[in-house]
Amino acid sequence: MAVKLLRCSGQWVKVSGHPCWRVEKALIDMGIEYETVAGAALPWQRDKRSELIEKTGGNRYPAIEFEDGTVYREESKAMEETIRAGKLFEKLPAGAAARLGGVRAFGREPARVAPRS
């Protein structure tokens, strides 16, 4: 399952303090497939972040959109911790992973339990 990373267009900024890079780097380090959706970068352009505002109700990057359209948004440090702890896909609503046919996280298929006979 690939996710969409909604982030600013300042993709060349790769310093640890940059919120968008912090989350993107965690996705890379954990081997999570993602697609970048870049928007207005500068703070005074926050009102131009229409897709982000529509999906999260706020105007601050970054955010992660799952395949079912669910969007996860917290402060970037908390998002990074969640990703690095292997808990990103726990942010999906209950049952969403099953509706999507299972979660492929970190390059591994989810464990399948055989039905009891």
Q: Which residue has the tokens 């303090």?
A: 17
CATH homologous superfamily for the domain 3-99: Glutaredoxin (3.40.30.10)
Count other C-beta atoms under 10 Å from residue 59's C-beta.
Answer: 16
Query: Which of 8-12, 25-29, 65-69 is the least confident region?
Result: 8-12
Domain ranges of the chain: 3-99
Q: How far apart are CA 106 and CA 114, in angstroms?
A: 22
Per-residue pLDDT tens over the stretch 88-97? 999 988 755 5
Please report, for residues 7, 26, 31, 77, the alpha-carbon distance to residue 107 in angstroms, rounded to integers and kept in the order given: 23, 15, 7, 23
